[in-house]
Structure 1
Amino acid sequence: MTSVEVINEAEDSGPSGYAAARLRLLNEKERSGPPRRAALARLTDEWLAALFAAAVQEQEVRGAALVAVGGYGRGELSPRSDLDLLLLHDGSASPAAVAAIADRIWYPVWDLGLALDHSVRTPAEARKTAGEDLKVQLGLLDARPVAGDLGLVASLRTAVLADWRNQAPRRLPELDELCRERAARQGELQYLLEPDLKEARGGLRDVTALRAVAASWLADAPREGLAEARRTLLDVRDALHLTTGRATDRLALQEQDQVAAALGLLDADALLRQVYEAARTVSYATDVTWREVGRVLRSRAARPRLRAMLGGRAAQPERTPLAEGVVELDGEVVLARTARPERDPVLPLRAAAAAAQSGLPISRHAVRRLGEAMNARPLPVPWPAEAREELVTLLGAGEPTVAVWEALEAEGLITRLVPDWERVRCRPQRNAVHTWTVDRHLVETAVKASELTRHVGRPDLLLVAALLHDIGKGWPGDHSVAGETIARDVATRIGFDRADVGVVATLVRHHLLLVDTATRRDLDDPATVASVASVVGSASTLELLHALTEADALATGPAAWSSWRGSLVADLVRRVAALLAGDVPDEPDQAAPSAEQERLAIEALRTGEPVLTLHTQHETPAEDGRPEPVGVELLIALPDQPGVLPAVAGVLALHRLTVRAADLRSIELPSEVGDGAVLVLNWRVAAEYGSLPQAVRLRADLVRALDGSLDIPGRLAEREAAYPRRRGVKAPPPRVTVAPTGSRLATVIEVRAQDAPGLLHRIGRALEGATVRVRSAHVSTLGANAVDTLYVTDADGSPLPDGEARQLAEVMEEALR
């Protein structure tokens, strides 16, 4: 059925005919995107025009018009878009007649279940309201006649545009502030896992704002790619509306695969990457446009005063040199008049470094000219030393690096400098721990690393490794392994010598080594420290890896780094540094129990019941001189008996305490104190929220858990039933493996599972049936994923044979399912 046939069907059959024709149009597989949105707008125009014509004929009213505003005014209707309508009249008809016309139009729309944003005004009232309400004025900028007195609508449009242009110096800053407030509430579209296609920064609202700026004649947005970006966002919204059947702009996780399929894309990642690309184009155009608006407004405000000072002569903007061929002009970094980019291949990096160092934006025109010159004469490979130094300067400039990098990336310079960047550009990270896309995370890591350059001997290697540490995420397989190969190529390309290339490659390959080891392995086990020392090889590489670990975690997001993680990594680095310096650590079994552990053990043996203490641990005082808490230490001593691990873990879970690490040891007390072994547990815990529970309550519940009067599984099941889960998202099954640690003290079992209340309790119960002893447990949680590592031995305290270890892992995995 053609568009004309669909419209005729709507005209012939009234509201029900319009509904049928609308449904038929939305189900046409061969028509989508702009053609479908335009056809839907035309279909709606014809239906509303018929309603309007019948209404004005019945009331015998002249001087009235039905006007589409906002998105409908632009002729773009998504399947579930609101209808934004204005009933415009010249005031000659009676209020009752105008109200009757409105009712004849509004009620049929409501009867079909369509969302309607409506108003009834004279031209004077419309202009007055627009002058008071910026959103109304923005909607009227797109006013389009649907039916009625065309002259009345044309007159209103002319007046509204004139008002907008006359009031632009006052209203544009108001619009800018409105956009900033919205961005602060909704976030940046190009980084959100569940973005709002309309309200988030870089979304459809910002495209509308750019149209309004252009209508003011004060400034204009960069046009390249903007129309395509807008089309992409609208197409995705159309597919979202049709997939969900709802008027929603939020691209929820559980709907992304269906939306991707509707658009003919491979998967949800391909969809998000396309959305991010579009949002990045809009965001960059927004930055450039508002910067130009600010420049023009400042220039206009200063012009009369400068003319008076110069005796009526026009003032010439001052150029301030920043670097060879680079100057500052009116708050932007531009190329000097004498610059010759086609003869100076280092100029792009020199200009970018100068911009970041001065904290100024780099002119879009300058970047474009540099890109054209780079096409004509790229940097030689390997890069000259000056180019490498300018790159390091750019990366070490701190926060200003981000805006400069984004400007270079928007014009395609980054992928010309580092071709492998294209694979990580706008690549989403489906992990709630990560705040940014892969490429932005790499830049943010360099920014965080710039704050740590005073702590390392080779800041240049740290900054380049920070930029490249996740570059392998654009390839299949282990991103660290792929990243090592890419890092070697890039480091060689930019001119590092063979030794430095090796260091950068090592840092990229093992950038997760320290944090993974510190949070998941027993640091008292000499094999743990020796394995890290064998990888890093030297104190200088260890120093760089320590700084990269912290920068990477800080750039990931708030959940990826804490004082506790930092203290564990620092402890590991201290032990590895000592080993590299020739100090051999003592075997942990040789260490005697602490005085407090022995005191608690004696009391537990005397009373026959659990004894515990709870106190806060602190690290070295921070810069303000106050010690910073790194966790809470819980010491428990009780007569050795079965079921201790699940009982203690379950009680802690019931009291909403998160377990970070647990060390278990059996102490044989001297015969003069008493006979029998005492189990001493040293736990590091943190409250999920609120204050810590009282030690008396913990002890009472632990006694009940051990004697069986406290139903821990039942209580935890109640909590887990109320645990929030994202609708439609199924967690992957747990996985239990034997880690190839090389420890001579124990077998290392690694459990990866969805984090949930009482996970360690369930692990302890799974171990109950096996004749093994748990030496220590180390718990690491990132977002919704938990990695729990257990050091286990047989009853005699020896590591398990390989076959038994694999069988234990299989039994535990089955039990955790």
Structure 2
Amino acid sequence: MTTGSGDPGNYAAARLRLLGEEARSGPPRRRALSGLTDAWLASLLGDAGEGVALVAVGGYGRGELSPRSDLDLLLLHSGRGTREVAALADRLWYPVWDLGIALDHSVRTPGEAERAAADDLRVQLGLLDARHIAGDPQLTAALRTRMLARWRAGAHRLLPELREATGERARRHGELRFLLEPDLKEARGGLRDATALRAVAASWLADAPREGLDEAHRTLLDVRDALHLTTGRATDRLALQDQDQVAAALALEDADALLRRVYEAARVLSYACDVTWREVDRVLRARRPGLRRARRSAERTPLADGVVVQDGEVVLARTARPERDPVLPLRAAAAAAQAGLPPSRPALRRLATAGPPLPVPWPAEAREEFVTLLGAGEAAVGVWEALDAEGLVTAWLPEWERVRCRPQRNPVHRWTVDRHLIETAVRAGAHVRRVRRPDLLLVAALLHDIGKGRPGDHSVAGEAVVRDLAARMGFDAADTATLATVVRHHLLLAETATRRDLDDPATVRTVADAVGDTGTLELLHALTEADALATGPAAWSAWRAGLVADLVRRTGAVLEGEAAGAAEEAERREHPDPRPTAGAERLAAQAWRTGGPVLSLRTRAGTPAEADRSDRAGRAGSAEGEADPEPIGVELLLALPDQPGVLPAAAGVLALHRLTVRAADLRAVDPLGEGRVLLLSWRVAAEYGTPPRADRLRADLVRALAGSLDLTARLAERERAHLGRVRRYGAGAPPPKVTVAPAGSRLATVIEVRAQDAPGLLYRIGRALEDAGVTVRSARVGTLGANAVDAFYVTGPDGAPLPPREAAGLAAELERALGG
């Protein structure tokens, strides 16, 4: 389409017809509008002779001309006289102004353009997209060539400056994908970020992941076109009052569908920026002088089984076999979040395409790694976003698709539904010491709004979704019921506390009936606060917190009063199986006869046949046991005559051999009626590689008990090495919490320890208990995700429970020791 002359009226009429063509929209219309404008401006310039060129820069140079876009123009000349150049400029600029079109213009020689670019990063970015319109093409080509050469030569200096500028812009304008009235251009994940990615690619140092990127960019441009046409204004802000009209113009169902499409595009751009800037950093680090630094960056440090750290990213080990290990993606994600390091995009792509789906129900390791990921603190957000961008989250949780990028039209909410859920899990991580089941708290936090986007009350819909989902994840019937109850009633405490009379017994009775038990009540209490804090600053206050705490206290009193026989039940939990298995009896008798430790180590692979193969391969011992329905790692049974220091010695040896304790049970038996034998049953997992041989464990245990193996020093070295290879292990974890369980047992004092699991934690607990002079009668040790939840039944020298004041002092001293 051409105008036929430089007459502004002809151009305006042709422009109006083009913008009114419903059949032509999107990229074709933007190209046509740019072409139409090019032709008109060329006719205005006329035959200016050599040494003059009209150049489109910025968005116009890229051909991204929206209906109300500015015209970014440069009149380039080789040094003609001032009057002649001024006359040419007037011939161009005044007709544009007469039509009311915004104009960003400049008149410069090539040298002046280069100097302006050197002083202003935005000018330089605009010239990277320079496009010839009319006049002397060689003048434009020469300037473009020089600008690209200068950009590439100065990339080591200019790209960090560009990154800082994009970060500052994001801080001012926020994240496009979470804003109810987003700025399509300036917010993070918007059109300016797309321009920045083009600039990075032009430097030849790095390139953005291309998959979905062009479509996301096109989506934002299409929305801006519709916004300009429906409002008649040159605006980039998608205001609430305009969203329904813009949605209709784009043939979308409603404003929510429009926002969701915008958010999805912004997410693609944001993720591309994250990946690209990490690659820029890596390349710039590699270009710095120093052979030692280059060698260090190439090191591959083990982080978990099949997972290593290389050059500041979490990647797959060379021996990893994702096609045979369905839990590897979760293990890699959990390790990355715990270490505070980003997962490599090529590694995620490989995991997403090569790995088999998780078995249904999930194996125990998958649940543990999932919970570890959720409980990793703020670092979990970036890892989760990367997983979601590569499709791994919806592969694990198909229900996630309904809440993905779903807007929340409530000014109190600062996030979309999906981001709110992961933010709630992060907030819940600060409360894992308050609850007996931190794994259920974190999973409930992630899923509490999973019913949004479905018909009806989202709490009711979410309960049904969570029942199916929890069963697939491998939670047993009781845990599934608890999760469903927490999701169903996640608003109950806040709504009741702020809207009902707490002095009315019927109010508390109603809450108690809905909750059912104190364990669920403490989960709801922690989730209520985490949910509110993740919603926004206006959703939680000291007043609201006080009301909820009062309601929880009253409801807890009712539920505890109904727990008849609680002491007897606690006693049954202390000794759930008073008679050891036949294999354990044989080990205990052998330990008593030999006077030394006896170990049995067995790799449990899920079926007896697989376990037998592991035994024959020499990687396990001869313990007896029935097959479990899912892989549970390594079973270690240890028996030895009762003596001081058994628990710290055994725990220290396991930590020294890089065995993580998933669960443990300690008790005393008298196999021959002649004396006490301590029987320790462990479920452990190798951090990476294969488990050690039983004879090596036994030899080190003998040395540790004899005092010839300095476990304290060796484990301190291991912990320093562990902390040195990651930037912030356990970052954001709440401090340890040690309490005395009320009415825990009639025969012993029950000390409960809740802490972030870490190498040597159980060793340090055992040492502290030994130093306190108490006897550990029995113990229940468990690891739920990244959290250790341990109970120790201790007595004083007289074999009786500790007096209350002494028990409280022991708990406080143990908490100080673990905190240090």
Q: Same fold (TM over 0.5)?
A: yes
- Report what 2:513 is aligned to: 534
Specify the code of the residue in structure 2 equivalent to 1:204. L
Specify the code of the residue in structure 1 equivalent to 2:134. A
1:320 aligns with 2:301: yes
For these two proteins, the number of residue pairs brought into alignment is 563
Whether contact under 8 Å (2:297, 2:310) holds in the other structure is: no
* CA-CA distance at 1:11 after TM superposition: 2.2
Specify the code of the residue in structure 1 equivalent to 2:254. D
* CA-CA distance at 1:316 after TM superposition: 6.8
- Report what 1:11 is aligned to: 4
Q: Distance in 2 between matches of 1:63 and 1:170?
A: 32
* Unaligned ranges ≥5, structure 2: 564-820
How do 1:60-209 residues align onto structure 2 when only pairs under 5 Å count? 61-91=49-79, 93-209=80-196
Matched residue SS, 1:198:
coil
Specify the code of the residue in structure 1 equivalent to 2:279. E
- Report what 1:673 is aligned to: none
Q: Distance in 2 between matches of 1:268 and 1:110?
A: 35
Q: Distance in 2 between matches of 1:139 and 1:304?
A: 37
Whether contact under 8 Å (2:205, 2:280) holds in the other structure is: yes
How do 1:379-398 residues align onto structure 2 when only pairs under 5 Å count? 379-398=358-377
* CA-CA distance at 1:384 after TM superposition: 0.4
Q: Distance in 1 between matches of 2:450 and 2:109?
A: 60
- Report what 2:392 is aligned to: 413
- Report what 1:520 is aligned to: 499
Structure 2 counterpart of 1:477, from 456, 466, 475: 456
Q: Distance in 2 between matches of 1:12 and 1:219?
A: 44
Distance 1:306 1:327, change over 3 A: closer
* Identity rate, percent: 74
Distance 1:104 1:304, change over 3 A: farther
Q: Deviations over 1:607-646 (max 9, x none)?
A: xxxxxxxxxxxxxxxxxxxxxxxxxxxxxxxxxxxxxxxx
RMSD of aligned Cα (Å)? 1.2
Q: Given the two structures, how large is their TM-score scaled by the length of structure 2?
A: 0.68
Specify the code of the residue in structure 1 equivalent to 2:419. R
Which protein has greater RCO, CA pairs closer than 8 Å, 6+ apart? Answer: 2
* CA-CA distance at 1:303 after TM superposition: 4.2
Q: Deviations over 1:669-700 (max 9, x none)?
A: xxxxxxxxxxxxxxxxxxxxxxxxxxxxxxxx
How do 1:543-622 residues align onto structure 2 when only pairs under 5 Å count? 543-582=522-561
- Report what 1:727 is aligned to: none
- Report what 1:218 is aligned to: 205
Specify the code of the residue in structure 1 equivalent to 2:160. P
Whether contact under 8 Å (2:6, 2:43) holds in the other structure is: no
Matched residue SS, 2:22:
coil
Structure 1 counterpart of 2:260, from 261, 270, 273: 273
How do 1:428-439 residues align onto structure 2 when only pairs under 5 Å count? 428-439=407-418
- Report what 2:486 is aligned to: 507
Distance 1:419 1:50, change over 3 A: same
* CA-CA distance at 1:12 after TM superposition: 3.8
Q: Distance in 2 between matches of 1:306 and 1:228?
A: 39
Distance 1:517 1:485, change over 3 A: same
Q: Deviations over 1:175-220 (max 9, x none)?
A: 0000000000000000000000000000000000000000000111
1:332 aligns with 2:319: no
Q: Distance in 2 between matches of 1:280 and 1:573?
A: 39
Matched residue SS, 1:333:
strand
Q: Deviations over 1:101-138 (max 9, x none)?
A: 00110010000000000000111111111111100000
Specify the code of the residue in structure 1 equivalent to 2:379. P
- Report what 1:349 is aligned to: 330
Structure 1 counterpart of 2:441, from 462, 483, 486: 462
Q: Deviations over 1:249-281 (max 9, x none)?
A: 000000000000000000000000000000000
Q: Deviations over 1:36-75 (max 9, x none)?
A: 0000000000000000116x3xxxx531000000010011
Q: Distance in 2 between matches of 1:474 and 1:104?
A: 56
Q: Distance in 2 between matches of 1:506 and 1:476?
A: 19
Q: Distance in 1 between matches of 2:283 and 2:424?
A: 35
Q: Distance in 2 between matches of 1:136 and 1:187?
A: 24
Q: Given the two structures, how large is their TM-score scaled by the length of structure 1?
A: 0.68
- Report what 1:705 is aligned to: none
1:291 aligns with 2:278: yes
Q: Distance in 1 between matches of 2:311 and 2:513?
A: 54
Q: Distance in 1 between matches of 2:562 and 2:446?
A: 34
Distance 1:315 1:541, change over 3 A: closer
Q: Distance in 2 between matches of 1:126 and 1:558?
A: 47
- Report what 1:38 is aligned to: 31
* CA-CA distance at 1:298 after TM superposition: 1.1
Q: Deviations over 1:574-602 (max 9, x none)?
A: 01011112289xxxxxxxxxxxxxxxxxx
Specify the code of the residue in structure 2 equivalent to 1:41. S
Specify the code of the residue in structure 2 equivalent to 1:580. L
Structure 2 counterpart of 1:52, from 29, 45, 54: 45
Q: Distance in 1 between matches of 2:105 and 2:290?
A: 43
* CA-CA distance at 1:76 after TM superposition: 1.7
Specify the code of the residue in structure 1 equivalent to 2:64. E
Structure 1 counterpart of 2:403, from 419, 424, 442: 424
Distance 1:436 1:508, change over 3 A: same
Matched residue SS, 2:4:
helix
Q: Deviations over 1:368-409 (max 9, x none)?
A: 0000123xx211100000000000000010100000000000
- Report what 2:16 is aligned to: 23
- Report what 2:587 is aligned to: none
Matched residue SS, 2:68:
coil
- Report what 1:447 is aligned to: 426
Whether contact under 8 Å (2:5, 2:40) holds in the other structure is: no
Q: Distance in 2 between matches of 1:321 and 1:494?
A: 28
* Unaligned ranges ≥5, structure 1: 308-313, 585-817
Distance 1:514 1:333, change over 3 A: same
- Report what 2:343 is aligned to: 362
Q: Distance in 2 between matches of 1:254 and 1:559?
A: 24
Matched residue SS, 1:88:
strand
Q: Distance in 1 between matches of 2:6 and 2:63?
A: 23
- Report what 1:719 is aligned to: none
Specify the code of the residue in structure 2 equivalent to 1:257. D
Matched residue SS, 2:46:
helix
Specify the code of the residue in structure 2 equivalent to 1:453. V
* CA-CA distance at 1:524 after TM superposition: 0.8
* CA-CA distance at 1:315 after TM superposition: 6.9
